[in-house]
Structure formats: structure tokens, C-alpha cells
Amino acid sequence: MTLSVAVPGIHASAVVDPLAQLDSSVRVGPYTVIGPNVRVGPGTTIGPHCVIEGHTTIGCDNRIFQFNSLGAIPQDKKYAGEPCELVIGDRNTIREFCTFNIGSPGGSGVTRVGDDNWIMAYVHLAHDCVVGNHTIFANNSQLAGHVQVGDWVILGGFTVVHQFVRLGAHSMTAMCSLLFADLPPFVMSQGQPAEARSMNYEGLRRRGFSPERIAAVKAMHKALYRDDLTLDKARMRIAELPEKYPESSPDVQMMLFFLEQTSPQRGIVR
């Protein structure tokens, strides 16, 4: 359904292109600008002084605070106007002064944010980033192009992530961490460059992980970081864990798949 600024819920000072598709329940604050290729789902609120442009799709029940720039072209000199996209899921909170760029032809062409994410002020998502569900990005987290972030990841304030780096599910960074290598699932990291410190045990408990699953995560940490094993030997030991901890099979498979996808050039945080 195409709406204009005359529709209730859209402030009279907002500039909404007639071709933009906004559900009738969407609310738009003063002085916000929305471009022609934008689609916004039911229940989403957009604060004042935002600019939403490009081929941007925003789902249901998102809360977008003031002064955000969503859907601008990538900061990539090779970009030549291709119709790349930004896709944002449902129930996300996006605080002030965030910048999310569309994808690029050199990647998937889509920058994607999942559902139920809590994204604090001044976060930057560069082109072709993929963010999962239930993540928390603290203030000033900065992601370069092509970064992949798994479900339940927590980024401490001022975390900076190098291009093409992957962060596994349930991983976590401390404040001011610099990630130049892949961060495996469950791992807590800190430093410049970041180093592995522990596993996110408390976060797993809060998410309902059983003692058996947490014991298996501890065993994975020991194999990767405590027993001076090569990565190949650590993977072999991790693969055996479901024999002792049957409940851990999905967690082990997730870890093994992540490690298999890590390139030798990039490596993992050690």
C-alpha cells in the first residue's frame, strides 16, 4: 500500500516519496526523508530526522530512533549505481546515529539484518554485512564490508571488525576489541588485536543451555585454546564430544562447520 505525508501517523514535515510503500500503521517523525524504493512493514516507528533511501525493506514492529541513515550507497569506490539492497527484519531496536549501507555488486548485493536485534547508537554496518537474530551491538560498534554475525552475538562498545570476518553464534567481544580473524561460536574475546579469553558460559546459562551442553562448550574451549593442539587436531577432538555429551551434538556441528569455513589466510582468534 502506497502512502503519502497526508496519512495519519506521518508527520506533516516528513518527506515521503509517493512510491514508497508504508503500511498504514507505520509512524514517521518530523523531518524524516523516505525514498521511493523503501518498504516498511506494520507496527514500525521511525523517529525524526532519519533518512531511509535505496532499495530498503524494513519488517514489522521495528523501533528506529532519530538521526539514522539507512540504505545509503556503500562506501565502495567500485559501486556504480547498481540496485543493491538493505533488508531489515522484525522487532529490531535501532538507536540514534546508526548508518546501514546497501550491499554491493562485489558481494551478495544485500546487507541483511535479522530479527530481535538491539543495536545501540553510532553503529555502522557496511555493505554486504549479514547480522543474525538476538544480537546486541553496543555503542560505536563498527563493521566493515562482508562481515557475518551469528545469532546471539554481543559486541562490546567500540568493537571494530575487519572486512570478511565472521563471528560465530553466542560469541562476545569486550569493549574496544579489534577483530582481524574469525571469532568462533561461544568464544569471548578482548584486545587489540582480539584474543580469546574464555567462553560465554553465563550467556549460555541465561539462554537455557543445560549443564551437559555447557560442559561440552568447556571441552571445546580446552581443545581450541588450552591444550596446545593444532587446529586440525582440535577439530578432531571436538568431533568426538557427542559420544560423551550427546546433547551437545548440534553445538559441536555448529562449531565444526564454522571452523571448516575459516580460510587459512584469515584464521581464528587465538
d(CA 242, CA 239): 7
Single out the residue of 59, 163, 77, 44 nearest to residue 114, CA to CA. 59
Closest by CA to 185, choosing from 123, 122, 256, is 256
251: left (phi over 0), alpha (psi -120 to 50) or beta: alpha
Query: Which residues does 60 contact at the CB level (< 8 Å), separation at least 6?
Result: 41, 42, 43, 44, 90, 91
**Are the beta carbons of 96 and 67 closer than 8 angstroms?**
yes
CB–CB of 255/185 below 8 Å? yes
Sheet containing strand 55-58, edge to edge, reads 21-22, 38-40, 55-58, 85-88, 110-113, 130-131, 148-149, 166-167
How many residues are listed for the chain in this entry?
270
Grid-cell match 523517529, residue found:
47
Active site residues: 127-128, 145
Please check whether residue 165 is in contact with residue 159, taking contact to mean a CB–CB distance below 8 angstroms. Answer: no
The x, y and z cell numbers of residue 7, run together, are 496519512
